[in-house]
Every structure is written in structure tokens, then in C-alpha cells.
Structure 1
Amino acid sequence: MLATAGSLVAAFWAALHLRTLLLAAFTFLFLADYLKNRRPKNYPPGPRGLPFVGCIFQLDFEKPHLSIQPFVKKYGNIFSLNLGDITSVVITGLPLIKEVFTHMEQNILNRPVTLIRERISNNNGLVFSSGQTWKEQRRFALMTLRNFGLGKKSLEQRMQEEAQHLVEAIEEERGQPFNPHFNINNAVSNVICSVTFGERFEYQDSQFQEMLRLLDEATCLETSIGCQLYNIFPWIMKYLPGSHQTVFRNWGKLKLFVSDIIDNHRKDWDPDEPRDYIDAFLKEMTKYPDKTTSFNEENLICSTLDLFFAGTETTSTTLRWALLYMALYPEVQEKVQAEIDRVIGQKRQASLTDRESMPYTNAVLHEVQRMGNIVPLNVPREVAMDTNLHGFHLPKGTMLLTNLTALHRDPKEWATPETFNPEHFLENGQFKKRESFLPFSMGKRVCLGEQLARSELFIFFTALIQKFTFQPPINEKLSLKFRMGLTISPVSHRLCAIPRL
């Protein structure tokens, strides 16, 4: 009896001891989290977050760019928003954005690196790198893209040829309902692939179609709640299934795809006759055998993949929005077609020199970009040193988000901010540039493919609207609902491309 009572007491004490230890551990973690994330003096105001996860559950992950807009009304044009372990500040309004990206830019040239991004690229490549790596890779990419045709007639001809391939692929649909997603992705991607890989891929190429599908899925999932939780609790999430595992798997397959192309290049590589970006990079690597620069195998893979991603996703998504808007606004489509018929006619393809003579078409493309708003909070920056902004203290390491959503829908800047209206970019019938239009960002880290993207949008769009009238399928209702990811893209939909006689 005494032995039994003693065992019960010992068990009770052990359980109590364990509970005390757990309680002490949780108390310590909460206290450490509070001390780590407490607001410094003069820190921008913002919503109070929960321990460890910050404000992520105050955001709607299907439309986070919209769910932060009430915070602007409540806290002003500079407010803080802690996302798990990341302290971020959101800036709103054209005067503030211009000030930050001109007078403060030297302090915000870096990219913040989330744990998920660190695992994918580890400060390599063009988009998410910082410091010396970014400077070297961007300078080399700009030089190489120019050498292989950017801004020259040769690359424009490749765009025209690819536009013709896309027209022929859509003609095969014979006016029946079809999903334009991956044909457009393939066409746009072929332009950058011709520069990076030295080849284009047929629309029936099953391996390349799979690469485009993996890229699309990874782009969509990288902003999911599962990936955000990985950034906060990597030691737990790495053992659990979820969207983060799909993202890692997809980027791994995409890296292997690029690595195989690099290996094939090496088989017949002639350093004196570079055929494309990969050949040029391989030659650059031979200049630095001691590996004192960022010109190494991992950066070759990541930079090539960044060009592939950026050169495919943003332009193709914008084109998909453009065709959707044409189907939803037939009166706008008719005006574009009238301008095409008047300036180009039906027999020849548009060239970039036609753009100045086609102000309405140019205005429509800009309005598609404004309304499509595909990178709603800009690509984030990181504050490299303690900085003062309008009396607020931004500590080193703060992530800076630019509220392009509010800028592109600002009633002070746009006559009808919530309505698709090409007149926003017209004045007395002529195209008008708008200072409050920043889809490619601004400053030293402005999108390096801006010129390429603008050219592609004009060539592809005019080729398609010249040959087809895009309409909703009978008994199917089109909408402007979107899918959130690294970019905002239209939800899956079908169109009818009716050949023009």
C-alpha cells in the first residue's frame, strides 16, 4: 500500500515537474519573442501581431495586397506590419515612394531573404541577390542581353516570328473555347529562351510544357500560408507535408532542367563564339578560376533560371490579362482593331516603330498593366542600415514594401481608378506617360527586362488583336477574379478567338 502511494506521489511529482518545465520554456520563448520584436523608439505604427507569427493571420492570403489597405487608412502612409520573424514597413503614395527610391535608395538596394528563398537560391541569381553578387550579375546580364539583341532589330524579329507561331497555334482552335494560358506562356518564354538557351521550344514539347507547369505552380504557391509558416517554423515545417514541399520540389526540378541544358552546352562550347547567355557565362567563369567572384556554377543556374522565370511569368501574365480585358470590353477591342487596320493593315506584322503611331493601343496596354497590378507590393527591398524616414526609425534589416496597389488605384492620380479606362493614358488623342505608373518599379533595381517586356507586349498583343476577336464562350461568364502568387494572374478561364476576315 505504501509502495503504491509512493509510486503515485512520484508520478504526480514527475508530471508536475514536466508541466513546470514546459510552462517555463513557453514563458521564456514568449518573453524572448517579445524582447526581440518589441518596437524601437519612433518605429512606424501598425497592427499588433501575435507572438511568433506576427500579423500573418490578420491578412487574407487570397488577396493580401487588398487586406493591407485598411491599415493605410488607420495608420497612415508609413506603417509597420510584422510577418512572423520579418519586420516590414509599407510605404504608400507617390511623393513618399519617389522620395524613398531617389534620396534613400543607397540604403535599400538589398533584397530581404526569407528562409524559403534562402533554401531555393541562397543569395544567388539576379532577382533575390544582394551586395556584390547582385552588382556583378546585373551588370553582366544587361551587357549580355544587349549583346544578344536587346534593343536591336534581331531580337524584334524573333518576337515577330514567335508571335506568328502563337497566331498559328490559336488558329488551330478554330474559334472554339480554349484556355490560352500555356500557349501564351510558351510563346513569351521562347523569346527569353532564345537568348539564354539559344533555342525555342515547340508548343507540343511535353518536357518544356512540364517545366512551364512547374514554374506556374511554384509561382502560385510561394506566397501560400504553408510557405509563410515554413519561414517562421522551419525546424517543424521541414518534416511536414504542404505547399512548401511542392515549392522546393518544383524549383529543384527546374534547376535540374537548366543544369542539363548547361551540360549540353559544354559538349560543343566554343569560348570564342558564344551562342547565348549560358555560353557567355561559361566564358566569364574561366576568367576567375580562384572563385573570388559570383561567377560560379550555382550562380549560372540561378541567374539563368531568374531570366527564364522573369522573362516568362510577368509578360505572359500581363498578356493573359490583356486578352481577358478585350473579351470583357469589346468596344475597346474594336478601337484597337480600327487603329491596327489604319496603321498596319491586315497583311504585315507590327514593328516597334509603329508604336508611336498607335497611341490608343499603347494606352490599352498600359491600362492593362495598371488594372492587372501583377506585382502589387513591388519586389521587396531591405533596409541596409538604420534609417530615418519622415521622423520614423527603420532599423537595419527591415523589409520595405511599396504599395503599388494603392498607387495604381489612387483617386488623386486616376480619373476612374476602379474602372478599365485607356483614356487614363491619353491626352488630346496622344499617348501620355504617367508618373504614378510604376509596374516595373524605379531606381537602380528597376526591372532589368523592362524594355524587353514592353516590346513583347506590343508585338504579341497587336499580332493577336490583328488576327482575332476575343470573346467569352457562349453560356460562360468571364470575370476578373485573380489567383494570388508571386504575381497576380487571372483565374483559369476559356476564350473564343474568332478569326477576323
Structure 2
Amino acid sequence: MDVIWLLLVLLLSLITIQFMKIRQIAAHLPPGPTPLPLIGNLFTTKCQLNHKTLMKLSKIYGNIMTIWAGQTSLIVLNGYEAIRECLINNSEKVSDRPTTPFFKYYSEGRGIIIGTGQNWKVQRRLSIKILRNLGLGKKVLEWRIKSEASQLVEILVSQKGSAIDPKNCLTNAVSNVVAAVSFGHTFSLNDELFHHIFESSTLVAAFFGTRWGQLYDAFPWLMHRLPGPQQSMYKHLHFLKQYMLYEIRQHQQNPSAEPQDVIDYYLEQISKTQDDPSSTVDEENLIQVLVDFVLAGFETVTSTLRWGLLYMAVNQDVQVKAQKEIDAIVESIENLQYEHRTKLPYTNAVIHEIQRVSNVVPNGLPRLCTQDIKLQEYSIKKGTIIIANLASACMDPNHWKFPDTFNPSNFLDEEGNFQPNEAFLPFSAGHRNCMGEQMARTELFIFFTSLLKTLSFQLPKGVTEVNMDGIYGTTYLPHAYKICPIPR
């Protein structure tokens, strides 16, 4: 009994010391909910950095506040002004990623999404150059998107208005754009390998933002040994990397006369730098870049389109008005071009509004301060982790006419012209903004406009209520639903 009491006293003493240490550190940080020893604010946030929870907390603690994930402090930014001051005004100083346990396991600092330091700059610069060589911002890539959009329309028209879940066909169309650019080939809708790749990329991409992901970062030594979704994540990430290696070997065994895709161009660059011992243009980084492309390219555009069709079915007046505008300008989907967006202000506003309210990547990904910075009255030290609640900028009442409701007028002036809004940040901002923004914008416009030109979307007969809340992870996804695509 004496030993047990001694152990309890020691444990209590350690917890008390830890609590006092956190309180001492917290005194020099922006305000926030009181952290508990060891677990920090995991109870307050319910083990999840849900963007809606963070917005509620900001009403108590301010737009710059501190949240503790276990024993790690996170500076959370809410509202456009705070986000702009940090990500744009101090862009270079918050351009790195933290080496959290999950991020380290995911990429070990390689690639683009979680890459750090000079290696990240090299990979991003090279990847942008490759995408431009492959037609980013040019007609050749637009043609590929139009081809997938046409096939998607054909599949939905063939349903003859029956109620379906559009997820799989939307996923296949969007993913094939990324696959063609990355691997030089596409997948059929019924390809089991394609479904395995998508399932794996979805699970890995979502893991960080889930409760299990937050627990993993707070207690990696424990979570690594316990059963749970993290064990499945390990297997899926391993599969993705093995598949990327397979694609690379196929390209090496069957080289093209001229580079046709990301792998071809990257392998060409590897051969040019192979005599440079300091070069980070290597096979390990290529594997990670391909995984990054798949994770970023598959899920985000697909989920935005899924939200978009749901919003059209629920808001029939918006759908009809957009279709009338499209019919007046676009003769057929074969003639549709990305530049038509300037002649379709209402349709363009609808697409932007879908992005604004759906917030498919609500918190972006964390940044790391590479230098000391000043945010309002707070001094933020080098090495501090920053979380920008991008969804809060997209719902900031100081910058939107209708912040809490779906209304395309948020992007229209009094004459009905399209009006950009600086608080629209679905692609983040600053040095770590989304590299694929131009490609995503083109995909969303061509897919969405092609669908509305050819089909009308309605809820199944008898369905009067729809769950418009999302499923929270790294991405914010709609619940599964069925919809009736009716040929026009």
C-alpha cells in the first residue's frame, strides 16, 4: 500500500508540475481555454479542430487564440483580418510546416504538401514548371478536362432521371484528370485498382483532421501501439507509395520519346542532376510528390462538386437562373471554354459561393513560424505552430453580405457583375497557397457548367429534408446522398 501511495503522490506531483509549466508558458501566449495537464484542450475541442468549434471559441477568446493539442500550443487565427496579417503580411515568415508526428510519418519532410525548408522550395518550383509544360493554364489541359466532363455527362444522362449517389462517377471524372497528368493514363469507373487508390487517398487525406489524427499527434508513442484507424492509415499510405513506385518503374521500363506526364518530366530532371550530390530531385521525393498530387487533386474538387449538386437540388431557383445564363452563352458543352466564365457572371458567382459555404479544406494545413512575428498585440516566437481557420474568413460578417447562408449575391455587385472578394480563401494564401489552384478553378468551372447545361438536379421524390452539415476531417465532406439527374 505504501508503494501505491508513493506512486500516486509522484504522479500527482508530476501532473502538478506539468500544469504549472503549461500555465507559465501560456501566460506569454494569446488567450485561450485553460489547458489540462498532458491532454491540453482535447476535451474542449472534443479531440478535433472543427472550424465551427474554433469560430465559437473565438467569440470568447478573440480572433487570435491559443489551443493546446496535448502539450503543444497552437496559435489559431479566426476572421479575415487576422489571417491576412499572418499568412499574407508575414508570408515568408510562416512558410514552413511543423514536423508533427503524423506529418513526419506521412512524408518525412519530402514532397510539396508537408515538405519543409529548401527541399520544399525545390519540389514546388519543379512541380509548377512541370505542370506548365503539361498545359496548366493552356488549352491542352482544358481539353482533357472537357473530355472527362463529356463522359461524366453521358453517364449521368444514361441514368434517365433515376435517383443515384453521384460520388463514384464524379470521383472517377475528376481523378482521371489528375491521373492523366501524373501517370499518362486514366482509369475506368469499374476499375478495382482505381477504387483502391481513391479509398486509400481519401482515408490518408482525412486522417489528420479527425479525432484519431489529433490523438496521434498528442500521444504518438501510445497511438502507434494501440489498435484503431491509425493502423489502417499506415497500410493505405504504404499502398499509395508502393503504387507510385510501380508507376515510376513502368515509365522507366517503357520510356517515351518525349515527356508525356509528371513522372516523365521528373525522371528527366533526375537524370540531369544525378551527378549533383546535394540534389533533392530524387526518386523518394518523386514518390511523395505523386502521393501529394493524388491526395490534393482527387478529394477537394470531387467534394466541391458533390456539395455543388446538392446545393442545386436544394436551391432550384439558383439552378434555373444559372441554366438560363449558360443557355444564352454556351451553344453546347463541346464549345464550352474556361474563358466563358467572364460572360457567365451569375454561374461564376454560384461556383464561388459553393466553394465559400462548403469549405472543403476549412483549416488548411498548419504553418510553422520560421522567425519571430508580431500579430496585433501578440509576439509569436519562432517555432510556433499556426492554424488558420480559412472557413472563418469565408464566413466573416465584416466581409460578406450573407455570411451564413448560401447566396450567389455574395459575389455580385448591384448590376449583376461578378465581384471578387479578398476574404475568399479556399486555396489558402501566401507562400503555401494551393499550387493546383488554377487547375482546380478550371475543373470546377468546366465540370459544373457542363453538368448544368445538360442536366437538372432534383431531390428524389418524397425527400424534403437534407442533411447539409458535413463530415469533418482534414476535408469537410457532405454526407452520402441520392439525387436525380434529369436530362434537359
TM-score range, shorter chain: over 0.9
| 2:471 pairs with 1:486 | no
**Which residue is equivalent to 2:306?**
320
Structure-1 residue corresponding to 2:151:
165
Aligned to 2:270: 285
Alpha-carbon distance between aligned partners in 1 of 2:41 and 2:22, rounded to the nearest angstrom:
15
The answer on whether the counterparts of 1:86 and 1:398 sit within 8 Å (CA) in structure 2 is no
What is the one-letter code of the residue matched to 1:322?
G
Tell me which amino acid in the other structure corresponds to 1:38.
Q
Say if 2:305 and 2:448, in contact at 8 Å, map to a contact too.
yes
| Aligned with 2:427 (options 421, 428, 440) | 440
The gaps in structure 2 that reach 5 residues or longer are none
Match of 2:13? 27
The aligned runs of 1:38-49 (5 Å cut-off) are 38-39=24-25, 42-49=28-35
- Measure how far apart 1:134 and its partner are: 0.8
SS in 2 for 1:204: coil
Partner of 2:353: 367
1:438 alignment partner AA: L
CA 29–158 in structure 1, closer or farther in 2 if over 3 Å, else same: same
- Counterpart Cα distance in 2 of 1:469 and 1:484: 28
Instruction: Provide TM-score, normalisation by structure 1.
Output: 0.92
2:172 equivalent to 1:178: no
Q: State the aligned residue count.
A: 485
RMSD over aligned Cα atoms: 1.9
Partner of 2:222: 236
Spell out the pairing of 1:424-435 with structure 2 (5 A cutoff).
Answer: 424-427=410-413, 428-435=415-422
Q: Secondary structure at the match of 1:469?
A: strand
Structure 2 CA distance for partners of 1:347 and 1:145, relative to 1, 3 Å? closer
Within a 5 Å distance, the mapping from 1:161-310 to structure 2 comes to 161-270=147-256, 273-286=258-271, 287-289=273-275, 291-310=277-296
Cα distance in structure 2, aligned partners of 1:349 and 1:60: 50
Task: Give the Å deviation of 1:224.
Answer: 2.3
8 Å contact kept, 1:148–1:195: yes
User: Is residue 107–residue 383 contact of structure 1 (8 Å, CA) maintained in 2?
Assistant: yes
1:259 is displaced (CA, Å) by 1.5
> Displacement, 1:412?
2.0
Kept in 2: contact 1:222–1:244 (CA 8 A): no
Counterparts in 2 of 1:411 and 1:333: CA distance versus 1, 3 Å = same
Instruction: Pick one of 442, 453, 473 that aligns with 2:440.
Output: 453
Deviations 1:389-408 (A, max 9, x none): 22312122221112222221
1:219-239 Cα shifts (integer Å, max 9, x gaps): 333322222222222222212
Question: What residue is the counterpart of 1:12 in the other structure?
Answer: none
Q: What is the SS of the residue equivalent to 1:174?
A: coil
Post-superposition, which runs of at least 4 consecutive aligned residues in structure 1 deviate over 6 A? none
The within-5 A match list for 1:62-101 is 64-101=50-87
Q: What fraction of aligned residue pairs are identical, expressed as a percent?
A: 37
Q: Which residue of 1 aligns with 2:399?
A: 413
Q: Amino acid of the residue matched to residue 480 of structure 2?
A: S
Name the counterpart of 2:119: 133
> Paired residue for 1:10?
none
TM-score by length of structure 2 reads 0.95
Q: 1:114 to 1:276 in 2, by over 3 A?
A: same
One-letter amino acid matched to 2:189: Y
CA distance in 1, matches of 2:8, 2:284: 43
2: distance between equivalents of 1:102 and 1:227?
Answer: 28
**1:117, 1:19 → 2: CA distance?**
40
Which amino acid letter does the alignment assign opposite residue 154 of structure 1?
V
* Cα shift at 1:455: 0.5
Any stretches of 5+ residues in structure 1 without a counterpart? 1-14
Distance in 2, Cα, partners of 1:291 & 1:38: 46
